[in-house]
A and B are shown apart, each in its own frame.
Chain A
Amino acid sequence: MSATKPDSDHQNPSQNMHTSQPCPHATPAADPLTLNLPLVQKILVGFIRNEVLRTGLKRVVFGLSGGIDSTLAAYLAAEALGPENVMGVRMPYSSSSSETMEHGQLVADRLGIQSKTLSIAAQVDSYFSQLSPDVTRLRRANMMARQRMTILYDQSAEFQALVLGTSNKTELLLGYGTLHGDMASALNPIGDLYKSQVWELSEHMGVPPEIVKKPPTADLWAGQTDEDELGFSYADVDRLLVRMVDQRIPLADLENEGFQKQFIERVARMVRTTQFKRRLPLIAKVGPRTIDRDFRYSRDWGT
């Protein structure tokens, strides 16, 4: 998607370092996607420990998909709280791939965390059996994601746990997730890490290579992969987003850096049109102090 490296491969984000033309007299700046891995690990582990324990709870529960995001979240949570305080829930549907289940099991075994399997097939099928059969694939996918969320929140009550979010910064910015589904959580340790950075940190923390190397997928239908569906690679979109969002480079300047105009415009539009997914619902203001507008408190108030 960029003139400098159109064939970049998500499996090795570090290949994309220093591809832009350096200024003649400038020392090369650090690649903005490169992480000080031990430091980031320490901050994120501390985040989970601190933000969970201050609520009076000591456990987390999360959807164990065997994908890279939930695996990294599980590795961080196991280190933060101890594996006995981490519960991964596998929630297969009838179309879920066997790899999803196997990799979920692999993560649970490696970390020694608790895990359980609760199928969503009956509740999803029961609902759609009442509707006409021409319901779109996207609606079915969103329903599955939301059924999983309701299960996680119910399990969190049983396990006396908080729901751990597993959405990365790339998908949050692109809105590539289901509102009130996989985007729902109590706390998210990886929401400020781009997908490329999720891979980087996962390798550093010893996530099994078969999980790091496989193409990312929501596994909501057979053969689905994120990058096919999005139409661009994570490596490319991460390089664009970090310039656009974190470094606030004007869109016109990004074009001069070698990103294709259509790519820039499409990504900018995705970020803009999915802003609603990253905010609380709109509240019609009539009173003197409206929640989050002029009633402003931190969530960690008093802890």
Chain B
Amino acid sequence: MSNDDQKTSPSSLNRPFRVAVAQIAPKLGDVAANLEMHKRIISETTAAGADLVVFPELSLTGYFLRDLVSEVALKRDSSEIIQLSDVSSHTSVVFGLVEESSQNQIYNGAVWVEGGVVQAVHRKAYLPTYGMFDESRYFAAGNRMRCFDTRLGRVGILICEDAWHLSNTVILGADGADLIILMGNSPARGVNTAELASQAVWHHIARNVAMFLNVPVVFANRVGYEDGVCFFGSSQVIAPGGSTLAQAAQLEEEILWATIDPSATRQARIITPLARDERLELTLRELERIAHERNQA
């Protein structure tokens, strides 16, 4: 029940491609300054041979926006998105933004641009609203979880809390992901152990997604401080199966480079054919039973 041959990815790259992960510290609420930074990084990494540039969650705006969300929200036809599309003719770029729909719903979003156009938009579907997080107050929740085709293959995006729900990983795997992008704004928390607790958890997630889906995973996390909260960075590129291809510094700005090789994905899928053996009908049947029983209760 995989999507094997159901969809033909348009001219996917079959050669290894270079990924640049922009581990940045955006200015809070200053879209113009952050846009200039994005353009500079895209220009420099494109010149250095990047096929894909990945920015973290809310990279155009910063995180603790609170009432600023409506002031920094961008519609699909905004000049900022057009400007970033314009610099994507040779490089695919994915960045984070506050996205406003035509119905004026405001989302925590991610936009994938390539070949000069917007290829896809993902809207964060799971908004953390507990502890130090308050996203449901400020954002509408996305209602879609699906992969999209790019020149690098079929891609699924999970924005931060999205990745904490295994159901999303399962969906993107079933939808035929060749590459998973995890875009985070994860704060540094838990300083009682040798490894920063929040970092350890995120690296587990990235490795698990790569292992269970047998795809490469890019984890892009930001750094810097907002109102005393520190974001830890430590972005990663993980190979299919879970080994670490590259890892950025903790707490420091960095452009992290890695090469993703589609032939490694092929090898992993042949050695451990998890996707082949996935039983979508069984999953669906049991989930439907559970949903039915919950409705009865």
| Contacts from A to B (Cβ < 8 Å) | 30-36, 39-40, 42-43, 46-47, 50-51, 187, 295-303
Is B65 an interface position by the 8 A CB rule?
yes
A40 to B189, CA, bound (A): 10
Contact B192 A303 (CB under 8 A): no
- Of the candidates B65, B66, B196, B230, the one whose C-beta lies within 8 Å of that of A46 is B230
Is B27 an interface position by the 8 A CB rule?
yes
Q: How many residues of B contact A (CB 8 A)?
A: 22
A299 to B227, CA, bound (A): 6
Q: Name the CB-closest residue of A to B67.
A: A296
Return the 10 tightest CB-CB contacts between A and B, nearest first: A296-B66, A50-B225, A298-B64, A30-B192, A298-B227, A296-B67, A40-B191, A30-B193, A36-B191, A300-B28
Interface hits, B154-193 → A, CB 8 Å: 188, 191-193
Given contacts A46-B251, A295-B67, A296-B67, contact A302 B27 (CB under 8 A): yes
- Of the candidates A30, A296, A301, the one whose C-beta lies within 8 Å of that of B28 is A301
- Of the candidates A35, A36, A297, the one whose C-beta lies within 8 Å of that of B68 is A297
Q: Name the CB-closest residue of B to A32.
A: B192
Q: Which residues of A contact B30 (CB under 8 A)?
A: 302-303
Q: Which of A31, A46, A300 has the most chain B CB within a 10 Å cutoff?
A: A300
A46 to B232, CA, bound (A): 11
Given contacts A30-B192, A297-B67, contact A47 B27 (CB under 8 A): no
Is B226 an interface position by the 8 A CB rule?
yes
Q: Which of A47, A187, A295, A301 has the most chain B CB within a 10 Å cutoff?
A: A301
Task: Give the shortest distance, in Å, between A196 (CB) and chain B (any CB).
Answer: 12
Is B194 an interface position by the 8 A CB rule?
yes
Q: Which residues of A contact B65 (CB under 8 A)?
A: 298
A-contact bits for B192-223, CB 8 A (1 contact / 0 none):
11101000000000000000000000000000
Interface hits, B1-49 → A, CB 8 Å: 27-30
Contact A47 B230 (CB under 8 A): yes
Q: Which residues of B contact A34 (CB under 8 A)?
A: 192
Q: Which residues of A contact B196 (CB under 8 A)?
A: 36, 39
Q: Name the CB-closest residue of A to B226.
A: A300
Contact B67 A302 (CB under 8 A): no
A71 to B112, CA, bound (A): 49
Q: Which residues of B contact A298 (CB under 8 A)?
A: 28, 64-66, 68, 226-227
Contact A301 B29 (CB under 8 A): yes
Is B240 an interface position by the 8 A CB rule?
no
Q: Which residues of A contact B251 (CB under 8 A)?
A: 42-43, 46
Q: Name the CB-closest residue of B to A49.
A: B225
Q: Which residues of B contact A31 (CB under 8 A)?
A: 192
Contact A297 B228 (CB under 8 A): no
Q: Which residues of A contact B226 (CB under 8 A)?
A: 298, 300
A214 to B156, CA, bound (A): 58
Q: Name the CB-closest residue of B to A40.
A: B191
A303 to B68, CA, bound (A): 13
Contact B191 A303 (CB under 8 A): no
Is B262 an interface position by the 8 A CB rule?
no
A39 to B68, CA, bound (A): 32
Task: Give the shortest distance, in Å, between B63 (CB) and chain A (any CB).
Answer: 9
Q: Which residues of A contact B227 (CB under 8 A)?
A: 298-300
Is B224 an interface position by the 8 A CB rule?
yes
Q: Which residues of B contact A301 (CB under 8 A)?
A: 28-29, 68
A35 to B196, CA, bound (A): 10
A50 to B226, CA, bound (A): 9
Q: Which residues of A contact B27 (CB under 8 A)?
A: 302-303
A299 to B30, CA, bound (A): 14
